[in-house]
Amino acid sequence: MSDSKNLMRRLVEADSEVAQLIDAEGRRQHDKIRLIASENYVSQAVMEATGTLLTNKYSEGYAGKRYYEGQQLIDEVEELAISRAKSLFGVDHANVQPYSGSPANLAVYLAFAQPGDTVMGMSLPMGGHLTHGWSVSATGKWFNAVHYGVRKDTGRVDFDEVAELARQHRPKLIFCGGTAIPRTVDFAAFAKIAQEVDAILVADIAHIAGLVAGGAHPSPVGHAEVVTTTTHKTLRGPRGAMLMSTEERAKALDKAVFPGLQGGPHNHTTAAIAVALREAATPDFADYATRIVANAKALAAALTERGFDLVSGGTDNHLILADLTSKDIGGKPAAKALDRAGVELNFNTVPFDPRKPFDPSGLRIGTAAVTTRGMTEADMPKIAAWMDDAISAAHDGQEDKLDDIAGQIRDFCAAYPIPGWTE
């Protein structure tokens, strides 16, 4: 019996069907090189906190003002998570209850805007998030969303466009940050524009929160009145989210989360967020954040050397966006071939993509998870070579080559254990 099954021996007894699926997923996560930019491997401690009996407790409300009895210890857990978030990010206020990043962002709309109001964010195909007002999202259906993008020549945010749109449309909220931005977000430049048009600047740092916490990306604090983040991407906590803000914005945000949008918070998740925030305050975590960026730069350089065309020419953070037009293959067939070859990532639109969103031109690549596993800059040329070989094989229809690469990658990954699963 593998170690992961050992850790869940009651589950194996009670429901071997589910246990086997979890164990097989553990093997899959172990045997592949995970380059999905939004994913990571949480520590055993974070995983254990999520698996506790805190899941049994209802605690609608906030510490000291709950609607159910028996909150003596739940209050302490939530206060601990809040105080760690405040000290880690240097904010006046933190709310750790949002179920995930999307509801956290929705709470910001509920707190500061009315349906029909104008809001502004980066467009989805340029690197923004659905919840920044994209048309298929509730945020795009219920609000009048205006979108900015990046410059065609630089692949970077066009601040002339942001300023012009802001002056013309006077949005209530301006979102900065996104899901496919390979460059540093200039929070000060956004803040200047938001101030001029009297908008609330919302920095969505879901992707880069771990880099911010570890000092590898500038902080939005002091520029954005509201900061939203998931807790499970570079921050390496459980699936969840946090809202952070100035004192002035605190009350409206808290009311929007509860009772505005949610019922009882997920207390087992709150405990795991507290654990992750403690981890994120250590020198080891700062070192991890620095290594994420070093790995991304090394991988970007190795891919460029192999003829990959990178949006903006490289990266400042954990993320690389590759345009495969020069490789004569679509993003989707490339991503599928890479998955078969043992490299897990996602197809993605690139700015000004001429192809359809479900088979766009690009690949999104992130280095947080491989960094957590201990892979270093020296490993990145090897990974780039496997990627290049797999994409060439897919282009030439040589499927058996993909399986060959998958075998090599499985052997390589054996030297990098992951928390929660062993052979």
Question: Is position 233 annotated as part of the catalytic site?
Answer: yes
Active-site residue (options: 48, 57, 58, 192): 58
Catalytic one among 48, 60, 309, 353?
60
Q: Is 139 a catalytic residue?
A: no
Least separation in angstroms between CB 361 and ligand PLP: 20
- Could you tell me the CA-to-CA distances from 352 to 125, 127, 162, 304, 309 in Å, in that order? 8, 11, 17, 20, 14
Q: Check the annotation: does 130 bind a ligand.
A: yes
Catalytic residue from among 204, 254, 279, 389:
204
Distance CA 113, CA 115 (A): 7
Residue 270: closest CA among 402, 85, 122, 87: 85
Nearer to ligand PLP, 127 or 330 (CB): 127
Could you identify the residue written with the tokens 């990306």? 217
Which candidate in 172, 233, 236, 297 is catalytic? 233
C-beta of 179: minimal distance to ligand PLP in Å? Answer: 4
Cα(216)–Cα(209) distance, integer angstroms: 10
Active site residue 34: no
Give the residue with the Cβ less far from ligand PLP, 71 or 348: 348
Asked about 58 being catalytic, the answer comes back as yes
Q: To the nearest whole angstrom, how small is the minimum distance from the Cβ of residue 204 to ligand PLP? A: 4
Strands (E), 290-411: 309-310, 319-323, 343-344, 346-348, 362-366
d(CA 223, CA 187): 6
Residues in contact with ligand PLP by CB under 6 A are: 38, 100-102, 105, 129, 131, 177-179, 204, 206-207, 230
Has 128 been labeled as part of a binding site?
yes
Nearer to ligand PLP by Cβ, of 100 and 398: the residue is 100
Q: Nearest distance from residue 348's CB to ligand PLP, in Å? A: 12
- Number of residue whose CB is nearest ligand PLP: 101
CA-angle at 46, arms to 45 and 49, nearest 5°: 85
Q: What is the dihedral of CA 150, 211, 234, 274, to 10 degrees?
A: -130
Measured CA to CA, the distance from residue 414 to residue 150 in angstroms comes to 40
Q: Which of 151, 239, 332, 382 is catalytic?
A: 239
Q: 109 or 386: whose CB is closer to ligand PLP?
A: 109
Q: How far is the CB of 128 from ligand PLP (least distance, A)?
A: 7
Q: Letter for the amino acid at 293? A: V
Nearer to ligand PLP, 181 or 402 (CB): 181
Let me know how long the chain is.
Answer: 423
Cα distance between residue 78 and residue 274, in whole Å = 8
Termini Cα distance of the chain = 8
Helix (H) or strand (E) holding 145: strand 144-148
Question: Is-catalytic flag, 179?
Answer: no
The answer to whether the beta carbons of residues 179 and 129 sit under 8 Å apart is yes
Which C-beta is closer to ligand PLP: that of 91 or that of 380? 91
Shortest spacing between CB 174 and ligand PLP, in angstroms: 14
- Residue of 282, 330, 262, 355 whose CA lies nearest to 61: 262
- Residue among 75 and 186 whose Cβ is closer to ligand PLP: 186
129 annotated among ligand-binding-site residues: yes
* Nearer CB in complex with ligand PLP: 183/327: 183
What's the min distance (Å) between Cβ of 232 and ligand PLP? 7
What burial letters (b/e) apply to 100-127, b meaning 16+ CB within 10 Å?
bbbbbbbbbbbbbbeeebbbbbbbbbbb
The minimum distance between CB 156 and ligand PLP, in angstroms, equals 17
CA dist 116 and 366 (Å) reads: 36
Torsion sign, CA atoms 310, 312, 316, 318: negative
> Active site includes 239?
yes
Joined tokens for residue 255? 């009311």
Binding residues for (6S)-5,6,7,8-tetrahydrofolate: 124, 128-130, 247
Active site residues: 58, 60, 204, 230, 233, 239
Binding residues: 124, 128-130, 247
